[in-house]
Amino acid sequence: MIDFSTDPDHYKHWRLTVDGRVATLALDVAEDGGIAPGYDLKLNSYDLGVDIELYDAVQRLRFEHPEVGAIMITSAKERVFCAGANISMLAQSTHVDKVNFCKFTNETRNGIEDASAHSGQRYLCVINGTAAGGGYELALATDHIILIDDGASAVSLPEVPLLAVLPGTGGLTRVVDKRHVRRDRADFFCTTGEGMRGKRALEWDLIDELAPRSKLDEAATARADTLAAQSDRPADAEGITLAALGRTTGDNELIYSHVTVTFDRDRRTATFQVRSPDAAPPQDAAAIHAEGCDFWPLALARELDDAILHLRFNEPELGTWVLTTSGDAEHVAAADDALLNNPDDWLVREITLYLKRTLKRLDVSSRSLIALIEPGSCFTGTLLELALAADRSYMFDGAFEGSNLPPATLRPTDMNFGPLPMCNGLTRLDARFLDDAGKRADIEAEIGNDLDAAAAEALGLVTFTPDDIDWEDEVRVALEARSSFSPDALTAMEANLRFGGPETIESKIFARLSAWQNWVFQRPNAVGDGGALELYGSGKQPNFDRKRV
């Protein structure tokens, strides 16, 4: 089982140090520390375990170190920055593992950019040796890239010429969309295995700065200090500790404080039950800080995040995720108010951003999402986003016979109208009603109101509203039908339907890039007998099928 829980005391591959306003993340990969047997992590190449630690470090810097305004990413090894994803690891991985690895790594890079854009923590990459493939893609996720000017170190994206695959963590997109490298230059760069050194890399905008070895530390320190000075994070604030999650793992369930996931392996479903706070959360910033990890919105984000990752990697055959909620709508609305009414507090900002990132992770998970809105449920505000993220939703019309649970309702809050956008930059409501501002306005007018099934259906917030007679059969048929379809076809269909509207760098990475890489990872030219990934390092040349399809 792959576990995503770690902390700096248990890192094998990264060194995290904090010096005032600047933190340093130094990559020092343990060659024998792979997450699976069968390969050595030479030349600071990485696997999933290396990236799990990086993700943890980025999270901790945001929550535990409010004083940090700039983070320097570099290598602790001489004359090598990072050789990218380990090729032997990729060659022996299953298709599922390859795709999940690329997706998680992409999400971590996007999290770095989110910190730069919204958290006041700017990232600087100091490339003190060669940066190839995923190593250069990590650099591309930062705000400023310094390359050592030693006549030998280069940046490169060699996947196409050497491996018959694509740069899998956003390199193609960031080169042209973020760094605005000319297309003809980008074409040459991505088809030359040796990459670019020194002045040409700078001239072509592949890096931002060159520094000789004797002045590299001086240049890096000066740039980090400049970036830190631009931060609005409080230099004298105290962070909160991201304590280990309390999770019970059984054969057919995951249990957290506020989230329980139960597995039905016959139906190939995982049912999420997300619970509201037991009481109204604190409303002022000082009390929120005092609660720390126990503050419900933060606890919810962490538990959902962990559950999503666990299911992606450890339960690939549970293809349908059923989203349910329970509890007190007033308490959820109060939690939303606490976030909305303290936007200038650094911790409240981080919690809101974490909820945003977790819901994005749900959006891009290759699973069917079905929301069941039943009597006693609590789809309010932040939790309403779960229903809006679903591919289809069923809302019970009325109350269960013989039950004292109140009829199902939905309640929009201001959290549904801006703070939690998808990767395409739109709220889930705006993505639901593209070019229909009137419908959005109608729902906005209902903020704070509990909407029954008839009202929710009239506003377009749910798909179907069965009554007591039809509920059980309609839900059963929907889940059985989902499990009967091709998982590949469903993944492709859902990804095409979920992200209407404009494209962003992030949506391109998860749609265009992920779709093509998914396909390339199944092609014999890359992974078949005699494919480039299989033969890499052997001295033999691959024998490609030359047909374009």
- Output the DSSP codes for 412-473: --GGGGTTS--TTSS-HHHHHTTT-HHHHHHHHTTTT--B-HHHHHHTT--SB---TTTHHH
Q: Flag residues of the chain having pLDDT under 70.
A: none
What's the pTM? 0.96
Q: Give the pLDDT of residue 417.
A: 98
Structure tokens at 239: 């962070």
Q: In terms of C-beta density within 10 A (0-12 exposed, 13-18 middle, 19 or more buried), how is residue 524 classed? A: middle
Could you give the 3-state DSSP secondary structure of residue 407? coil
pLDDT of residue 204: 98
Q: Are 416 and 410 in contact (CB under 8 A)?
A: no
Predicted local confidence at residue 338, as pLDDT: 98
Q: How far apart are CA 115 and CA 251, in angstroms?
A: 36
Domains recognised in the chain with CATH numbers: 8-229 (3.90.226.10), 248-497 (3.90.226.10)
Looking up tokens 């989110």, which residue turns up? 114
Per the CB < 8 A criterion, the answer to whether 247 and 256 are in contact is yes
DSSP secondary structure code for residue 495 in this structure:
H
Report the alpha-carbon distance of residue 367 to residue 302 in Å, rounded. 20
The b/e string for 21-57 (b: 16+ C-beta within 10 A; e otherwise) is: bbbbbbbebeeeebbeeebebebbbbbbbbbbbbbbb
Q: d(Cα 231, Cα 356) in Å, to the nearest integer?
A: 21
Cα separation, 428 vs 418, in Å, equals 9
Contact, 60 vs 242, CB < 8 A? Answer: yes
Residues in the chain, overall count: 549
Cα separations (Å) of 372 from 85, 280, 312, 462, 548? 40, 24, 21, 10, 44
Where would I find the H helices in 344-436? 346-363, 384-389, 428-432
